[in-house]
Amino acid sequence: MIRINILLLILAAFLSSSNTHALVSDFCVADLSRSVSPAGYACKKPPLTVNDFVFSNFKAGNTSNFLNAALNPAFVDQFPGINGLGLSAARLDLDAGGVVPIHSHPGASELVIILQGRITVGFISTDNTVYQKTLMKGDIIVIPQGLLHFQLNAGGNRASAVLTFSSTNPVAQLVDVALFGNNLDSGLVARTTFLDLAQVKKLKAVFGGRG
Amino acid sequence: MIRINILLLILAAFLSSSNTHALVSDFCVADLSRSVSPAGYACKKPPLTVNDFVFSNFKAGNTSNFLNAALNPAFVDQFPGINGLGLSAARLDLDAGGVVPIHSHPGASELVIILQGRITVGFISTDNTVYQKTLMKGDIIVIPQGLLHFQLNAGGNRASAVLTFSSTNPVAQLVDVALFGNNLDSGLVARTTFLDLAQVKKLKAVFGGRG
Amino acid sequence: MIRINILLLILAAFLSSSNTHALVSDFCVADLSRSVSPAGYACKKPPLTVNDFVFSNFKAGNTSNFLNAALNPAFVDQFPGINGLGLSAARLDLDAGGVVPIHSHPGASELVIILQGRITVGFISTDNTVYQKTLMKGDIIVIPQGLLHFQLNAGGNRASAVLTFSSTNPVAQLVDVALFGNNLDSGLVARTTFLDLAQVKKLKAVFGGRG
Amino acid sequence: MIRINILLLILAAFLSSSNTHALVSDFCVADLSRSVSPAGYACKKPPLTVNDFVFSNFKAGNTSNFLNAALNPAFVDQFPGINGLGLSAARLDLDAGGVVPIHSHPGASELVIILQGRITVGFISTDNTVYQKTLMKGDIIVIPQGLLHFQLNAGGNRASAVLTFSSTNPVAQLVDVALFGNNLDSGLVARTTFLDLAQVKKLKAVFGGRG
Amino acid sequence: MIRINILLLILAAFLSSSNTHALVSDFCVADLSRSVSPAGYACKKPPLTVNDFVFSNFKAGNTSNFLNAALNPAFVDQFPGINGLGLSAARLDLDAGGVVPIHSHPGASELVIILQGRITVGFISTDNTVYQKTLMKGDIIVIPQGLLHFQLNAGGNRASAVLTFSSTNPVAQLVDVALFGNNLDSGLVARTTFLDLAQVKKLKAVFGGRG
Amino acid sequence: MIRINILLLILAAFLSSSNTHALVSDFCVADLSRSVSPAGYACKKPPLTVNDFVFSNFKAGNTSNFLNAALNPAFVDQFPGINGLGLSAARLDLDAGGVVPIHSHPGASELVIILQGRITVGFISTDNTVYQKTLMKGDIIVIPQGLLHFQLNAGGNRASAVLTFSSTNPVAQLVDVALFGNNLDSGLVARTTFLDLAQVKKLKAVFGGRG
């Protein structure tokens, strides 16, 4: 019995951190209520349980809407356990006719992993080449960081995909929402996009923008 | 018509790279036949097509083996389009009784996204706490970088998962293979693991090790 | 005299690299003709001269065009000395009525430093807030990485700015060019942007797109 | 009208962060009064305005001094909006005879963009090569990270430059100040620089050092 | 005298940070009592002294134990001055027969610098190659990040080494402790390691594990 | 026997890389004869041996010189196995009166680990504070990245230290060599350092500079 205690004591000396500070290198579960820095959220204080590392709502959302689409994110705000670890996920469901409008993720690359159905995915590079393909179960496409891209249900049935990202908070910027869903002046939008003013005003009405 | 040409010319001036060098910042598809640096493979030269960004074999592998398990990686060697983008994926299938032995991924964190069935996933932190849970469809668990972990089929039917990683080549180090599948001297293994020599020799035989 | 030689010899021992390999840590001027990796271009071999670190064409471009605008980049393809150093610059000139259409720089933040005239700069965050202001000489605005933004001459005379970026190749993605300047199918553009098909076709004609 | 509300609701689901935590990935304006970590300052809490991203004092400083020089920094302490974004700027003005003494920026590379006049810029690499040139409007020189360098007005009139850096706080270490402007023992300075003790004491008097 | 004051005033303008915030870029001594983020500990507030940068207990530990080994870490929890600087050290002493069992450092590479005696060091790569050698004074071996490795006294006298790491908190994960020193179910350990259940239970008793 | 082969085959499927490309994530031993990129040297092609990871000349150099000092580097050019791993080491020996003149390591932090004797180490921060202490065996001091520092033998006997760095090639920039050991014009040195011209010329003669 003495042998056990001594041996454990010795081995413990090889474990560099006390329990209090062990989080520094193994992981850093986000404490969403505390301060944020450029590196992410402050770490939750011990004790932790396995549930700090589990996200349990990775299910299809409600697609009964005009986009016939649902996105269910497991980003750091929903899944604090990934804080500081550089990856996240989301589930995408597209009913027949479903679409994810053109958007980008500033600073995050994305894998689209098809689970069922057929999805047309396209991205445009900065030298203005279109990379587009209709994918089905067993296919993955990578969207390099920050590039504009879209997803469309290419079949007659529901299509689903797992999305994974190289960032813990790969917030999307949708072109429509950025242009038409806020208080940007309509004339300014027309000037900086070459869209007709009437088109801008029409979409401002759809997306709830002012000005 | 002249208007079109001039406008394009002007806008083109805002696109900073010539076609030849556009890969520097948008993406860098691996040329597996060329040199490797600490940052990854050298970039494939243009022209590229959408298939450079697509992996089309993300399917269940053959689980008719002693592990009742199959892992199908989409890492940079199988999926050159992810080179330099910091993420990858793999598909895991576990038949009844299936197991992924204890292993780690040096330098990569992992998400285990359950697709079907029930999988027990556990990891051990460096302060020697066990974080373990049986997960089912709709659950995700994160395995922080470099920590020892395992997966077990916890039900009577096939279980499947999408694995994603924060690295383009999250090679696994299996403890069994490292200890018993090479030419490490059996006595040395016993000394550095406290296993009985007979146990070491027995597993050396199973895993094909010498010495 | 002997003293000099010995002293130099000793001090030289503190300079860790031979001349051949000194580039590893001080700098890595791009050899644009050689291989590219995710970390940038391969380094130019010695000897180097000061001109490898100088860009001598940082002047106003020709603004006699429909945008009344000129952008003159000093990115890594024009200025190989910045390879691997994480920053670059460009000069922007806007005549009366000049505009830089809405665009983003995937993965690079930007400073807009006004030299003369008045420029309205705006960016939209992913929570859809517009940050917009008319700036003059003595003002700087920062555009966080990857966000959509625009610049407009807000006065009656020429306006000029120095732009700097947190990347050696901050290639721009212009929304107009991405949507209307390539072979993306017009119907698909309409579906993924909610623009009227007629509007899409009209701008396809302007920006030279097909399909 | 109902259409609008539903559509916005759906699109909003694609924006991953609530307003409260949106700062995690878009930007992180420094709250200078809160804690600092190795990654920078803690983020300012919302609401933010465009002025959080604007610096409005980028003007020539007073050059009526012994250096005939003025440096006006827009670093993170003066310009909190750049926190975490990896770049900053400064304005340099040199009257006739003006000089910026030999210094380095630990960990930051620098671009010197000449606005007017003639400036001689030089840096010394660790293999002890001097890279030096007299620059004028339209020229940029890059100073690789951490290397000793200097700037001198090379003409008879005022010379000005925009400096940009690959860091949000590229604090300078001036050799003179480090050697002669503090309480380093004069004998120790002499021993570690090979300067004559009289020279050390003379400059200690000039730069206000003690010891 | 006036000259001194003016000159200092001018030079001070080139030092970008006020004293209050100077820590942002020079260093960030850990305040172990404050919040932790993925980038490390919050910075200790000034004033600082040289002792904040000094660790004074880098001595041989007590090797009178079953491992005949002692490890004395100078990691961030013992040496707050290294916070954010990406390196640390430890002293290893092995008496005759001493051993450091198989372990890994998630995310840190290691140099083993032999001071005295003879030490056999080995690591196993993920392609299952063993790299092993007996080293003596004047030898260094590098252990690439995250790989399983071990150290053994290969002589009849005390052997000592300086260990250095590419991380401020290179906590070790010992295979024995992870498998046998906690509450992992013995049957589960057997299934995920292929060890005999009796062997598992025997070592559970030695290492104090339960279950 | 069949069991062994099948089991190995299955486990092999979990090892993601073929032998050919296994270097991508485990390690990247420098091939000093091939191309260099900002991330380091290209990787040596297999086969590798343990000697690729061992440096065998970590011994005291010859201190019979004017500095009474010897530095023996194990940087990437001498120790190719550390390429891409972010750390290196050097051995420093100082005889009585020995000195390492004021210098900096652009972009690398340093630990000075005293082995024997007494060494005075000092560094100066950018807010011009001197951090200086005389250290002996059992002491470590950290020199934050890029700051000017020096080492002096503070006793009557030989003093030795292990230096470790957070970079694979922490080349030093010695102030004396940079100012007086090259072809920088003496007048220019005087202007940018405020040293007397006679002092500059005197040290130019000592350090072999021209001009």
pLDDT tens by residue, D137-196: 999 999 999 999 999 999 999 999 999 999 999 989 999 999 999 999 999 999 999 999
Structure token pair of residue E25: 């870029």
Q: Is the pLDDT of residue B144 over 50?
A: yes
Task: Give residue A35's pLDDT band: very low, low, confident or very high (50, 70, 90).
Answer: confident
Chain E residue with CA closest to A81: the answer is E38
C69-79: b or e for each residue (b if 16 or more CB lie within 10 Å)? bbbbbbbbbbb
Check residue F211 and give its pLDDT: 80
Check residue F11 and give its pLDDT: 52
Q: Order of strands, edge to edge, in the sheet holding F88-94? A: E54-55, F140-143, F110-116, F159-165, F88-94, F69-74
Region C78-94 average pLDDT? 97
- Is F46 in the B-facing interface, judged by CB distances under 8 Å? no
Check residue F25 and give its pLDDT: 67
Contact between chains at D14 and A100 (C-beta distance less than 8 A): yes
Check residue C211 and give its pLDDT: 80
CB of E177 closer than 8 Å to CB of A11: yes
Q: Is the pLDDT of residue A20 over 60?
A: no
Mind listing the pLDDT tens digit for each residue in A58-98?
Answer: 999 999 998 999 999 999 999 999 999 999 999 999 999 99
The average confidence (pLDDT) of chain F is: 90
Contact between chains at C111 and D54 (C-beta distance less than 8 A): no
Q: How far apart are the first and last CA of chain F?
A: 78
Of all residues in chain C, what percent carry a pLDDT higher than 90?
A: 83
Of all residues in chain A, what percent carry a pLDDT higher than 70?
A: 88
Nearest 5 degrees, angle CA C49-CA C50-CA C52?
A: 75
Chain E residue with CA closest to A38: the answer is E39
The sign of the CA dihedral A58, A64, A66, A67 is: positive
For E57-169, CATH gives: 2.60.120.10
Contact between chains at E36 and A23 (C-beta distance less than 8 A): yes
What does the alpha-carbon distance between residue E49 and residue F180 come to, in Å, rounded to a whole number?
Answer: 33
Q: Order of strands, edge to edge, in the sheet holding B130-136? A: B130-136, B118-124, B149-153, B99-104, B173-174
CB of B172 closer than 8 Å to CB of A84: no
Q: Which chains touch E (3 or more CB pairs under 8 A)?
A: A, B, D, F
Q: H helices within F32-174, ranges in order?
A: none
D102-139: b or e for each residue (b if 16 or more CB lie within 10 Å)? bbbbbbbbbbbbbbebbbbbbbbbbbbbbbbbebeebb
Contact between chains at D14 and A75 (C-beta distance less than 8 A): no
The sign of the CA dihedral A124, A130, A133, A138 is: negative
Asked whether residue A21 is marked as a ligand-binding residue, the answer is no
- Shortest Cα–Cα distance, A112 to chain C (Å): 17
- Shortest Cα–Cα distance, C207 to chain B (Å): 6
CATH 2.60.120.10 fits D1-169, yes or no: yes
Closest partner CB to C130 (pick from A144, A183, A207): A183
Q: Which chains touch C (3 or more CB pairs under 8 A)?
A: A, B, D, F
Number of other residues whose CB lies within 10 A of the CB of residue C46: 14
Task: Give residue F35's pLDDT band: very low, low, confident or very high (50, 70, 90).
Answer: confident
Residues F43, F49, F52, F57, Cα dihedral to 10°: -170
What does the alpha-carbon distance between residue C113 and residue C119 come to, in Å, rounded to a whole number?
Answer: 10
CA distances from B164 to B7, B111, B158, D89, F186 (A): 43, 5, 20, 39, 60
Contact between chains at D173 and F126 (C-beta distance less than 8 A): yes
Of all residues in chain F, what percent carry a pLDDT higher than 90?
A: 83
Check residue A166 and give its pLDDT: 96
Check residue A25 and give its pLDDT: 67
The sign of the CA dihedral D194, D200, D206, D209 is: positive
Rg (CA), chain B: 23
Contact between chains at D75 and E22 (C-beta distance less than 8 A): no
Q: Do chains D and B touch (3 or more CB pairs under 8 A)?
A: no
Mind listing the pLDDT tens digit for each residue in F68-90?
Answer: 999 999 999 999 999 999 999 99
Fold of the domain built from segment(s) F1-170: Jelly Rolls (2.60.120)
- E strand or H helix at C176, and its extent? helix C175-180
Region C21-50 average pLDDT? 85
Q: Is the pLDDT of residue D205 over 90?
A: yes
Number of other residues whose CB lies within 10 A of the CB of residue B208: 17
What does the alpha-carbon distance between residue A124 and residue A132 come to, in Å, rounded to a whole number?
Answer: 8
Chain F residue with CA closest to D196: the answer is F199
Domain ranges of chain F: 1-170, 176-207
Residue from A36, A64, A76, A79 to probe the interface with D (highest D Cβ count within 10 Å): A36
- Is D178 in the F-facing interface, judged by CB distances under 8 Å? yes
Number of other residues whose CB lies within 10 A of the CB of residue E33: 9
CA E33 from centroid of its chain's CA atoms: 21
Class of domain A69-172: mainly beta
Of all residues in chain A, what percent carry a pLDDT higher than 90?
A: 83
- E strand or H helix at B201, and its extent? helix B197-207
Q: Is the pLDDT of residue A197 over 70?
A: yes
Closest partner CB to B7 (pick from C71, C170, C206): C206
Exposed, middle or buried: residue A47 (CB in 10 Å: 0-12, 13-18, 19+)?
Answer: exposed
* Residues near B1 by beta carbon (within 8 Å), at least 6 away in sequence: none
- Is E71 in the A-facing interface, judged by CB distances under 8 Å? yes
Residue E96: helix, strand or coil by DSSP? coil
CB of B104 closer than 8 Å to CB of E104: yes
Closest partner CB to A26 (pick from E66, E171, E207): E171
Residues of chain E scoring pLDDT < 70:
1-25
Residue from C26, C118, C123, C133 to probe the interface with D (highest D Cβ count within 10 Å): C26
Structure token pair of residue D21: 């935590």
Contact between chains at B7 and C67 (C-beta distance less than 8 A): yes
What does the alpha-carbon distance between residue A14 and residue B192 come to, in Å, rounded to a whole number?
Answer: 14
Q: Given the DSSP bridges, would you call strands F36-37 and A99-104 parallel, antiparallel or unpaired?
A: unpaired
Contact between chains at A3 and E107 (C-beta distance less than 8 A): no
CA distances from B15 to B8, B12, C73, C95, C156 (A): 11, 5, 9, 20, 27
Closest partner CB to A21 (pick from E32, E37, E208): E32
Instruction: Please name the residue that has the structure tokens 């004293």.
Output: E19
Closest partner CB to F28 (pick from B37, B103, B107): B37
The average confidence (pLDDT) of chain B is: 90
- Is F49 in the E-facing interface, judged by CB distances under 8 Å? yes
What does the alpha-carbon distance between residue E189 and residue E203 come to, in Å, rounded to a whole number?
Answer: 11
Mind listing the pLDDT tens digit for each residue in C138-167?
Answer: 999 999 999 999 999 999 999 999 999 999
Structure token pair of residue F36: 């260099």
Mind listing the pLDDT tens digit for each residue in D89-136?
Answer: 999 999 999 999 999 999 899 999 999 999 999 999 999 999 999 999
Task: Give residue B179's pLDDT band: very low, low, confident or very high (50, 70, 90).
Answer: very high
Q: Is the pLDDT of residue B15 over 90?
A: no
Structure token pair of residue A112: 């689209």
Check residue B17 and give its pLDDT: 34
Structure token pair of residue D42: 């803690």
- Shortest Cα–Cα distance, B47 to chain F (Å): 23
Rg (CA), chain D: 23
Bond prior to B47 in cis (omega within 30° of 0): yes
Q: Which residues of B touch C35 (CB under 8 A)?
A: 34-35, 42-43
From B147, E3, C124, E15, select the one nearest D66 (Cα to Cα).
E3
Check residue A107 and give its pLDDT: 82
Mind listing the pLDDT tens digit for each residue in C99-147?
Answer: 999 999 998 999 999 999 999 999 999 999 999 999 999 999 999 999 9
Asked whether residue C21 is marked as a ligand-binding residue, the answer is no
Bond prior to C47 in cis (omega within 30° of 0): yes
Closest partner CB to C22 (pick from D89, D125, D139): D125
Region D30-43 average pLDDT? 93
- Is D157 in the C-facing interface, judged by CB distances under 8 Å? no
Check residue B35 and give its pLDDT: 85
Beta bridge partners of B74: B89
The sign of the CA dihedral F38, F44, F48, F53 is: negative
Q: Is the pLDDT of residue C23 over 70?
A: no
Residue from B9, B140, B147 to probe the interface with A (highest A Cβ count within 10 Å): B140
Nearest 5 degrees, angle CA E79-CA E85-CA E90?
A: 45
Checking phi first, is residue B92 left (phi over 0); if not, alpha (psi -120 to 50) or beta?
beta
Q: Is the pLDDT of residue A2 over 70?
A: no
Q: H helices within chain F, ranges in order?
A: 2-14, 23-26, 175-180, 186-193, 197-207
* Residues near F171 by beta carbon (within 8 Å), at least 6 away in sequence: C15, C16, C17, C22, C25, C26, D126, D127, F75, F105, F106
Q: Which residues of A touch E74 (CB under 8 A)?
A: none
Q: Which residues of D touch E23 (CB under 8 A)?
A: 36
- Shortest Cα–Cα distance, F55 to chain E (Å): 5
Contact between chains at B13 and C174 (C-beta distance less than 8 A): no
Chain E residue with CA closest to F141: the answer is E54
Q: Which of residues 78-107 of E touch D (CB under 8 A)?
A: 83-84
- Is B26 in the C-facing interface, judged by CB distances under 8 Å? yes
What does the alpha-carbon distance between residue E138 and residue E114 come to, in Å, rounded to a whole number?
Answer: 6
Residue F88: helix, strand or coil by DSSP? strand
Q: Is the pLDDT of residue A15 over 90?
A: no
CA distances from C161 to C70, C95, C167, D94, E204 (A): 11, 12, 18, 21, 69
Instruction: Please name the residue that has the structure tokens 């350990």.
Output: E189
Check residue E3 and give its pLDDT: 45
Task: Give residue A211's pLDDT band: very low, low, confident or very high (50, 70, 90).
Answer: confident
What does the alpha-carbon distance between residue A2 and residue C132 come to, in Å, rounded to a whole number?
Answer: 71
For C67-171, CATH gives: 2.60.120.10
Check residue B11 and give its pLDDT: 52
What does the alpha-carbon distance between residue C162 and residue E191 come to, in Å, rounded to a whole number?
Answer: 64
Q: Is the pLDDT of residue B67 over 80?
A: yes
What does the alpha-carbon distance between residue D12 and residue C119 come to, in Å, rounded to a whole number?
Answer: 31
- Is B179 in the E-facing interface, judged by CB distances under 8 Å? yes
User: Which has the higher per-residue pLDDT, F7 or E114?
Assistant: E114
CATH assignment of B1-171, given 3.40.50.2000, 3.10.105.10, 2.60.120.10, 2.40.10.340? 2.60.120.10
Q: Which of residues 5-24 of A touch E (CB under 8 A)?
A: 5-11, 13-18, 21-24
CA distances from A109 to B42, B86, D149, F126, F132 (A): 19, 8, 38, 38, 46
Residue A55: helix, strand or coil by DSSP? strand
- Is B34 in the C-facing interface, judged by CB distances under 8 Å? yes
Bond prior to F47 in cis (omega within 30° of 0): yes
What does the alpha-carbon distance between residue D133 and residue D135 come to, in Å, rounded to a whole number?
Answer: 6
- Shortest Cα–Cα distance, E210 to chain F (Å): 29
Check residue C32 and give its pLDDT: 95
- Is D175 in the E-facing interface, judged by CB distances under 8 Å? no
Q: State chain C's maximal CA–CA distance in angstroms.
A: 85
Long-range contacts of B198-203 (CB under 8 A, 24+ apart): B199/E195, B199/E196, B199/E199, B202/E196, B203/B176, B203/B179, B203/E194, B203/E195
Contact between chains at E182 and B146 (C-beta distance less than 8 A): no
* Residues near D35 by beta carbon (within 8 Å), at least 6 away in sequence: A35, D41, D42, E34, E35, E42, E43
Check residue A96 and give its pLDDT: 97
- Is F164 in the C-facing interface, judged by CB distances under 8 Å? no
Contact between chains at A184 and C130 (C-beta distance less than 8 A): yes
Number of other residues whose CB lies within 10 A of the CB of residue A62: 11
- Is E2 in the D-facing interface, judged by CB distances under 8 Å? no
Q: Which residues of F touch E132 (CB under 8 A)?
A: 50
Asked whether residue E21 is marked as a ligand-binding residue, the answer is no
Check residue F24 and give its pLDDT: 55
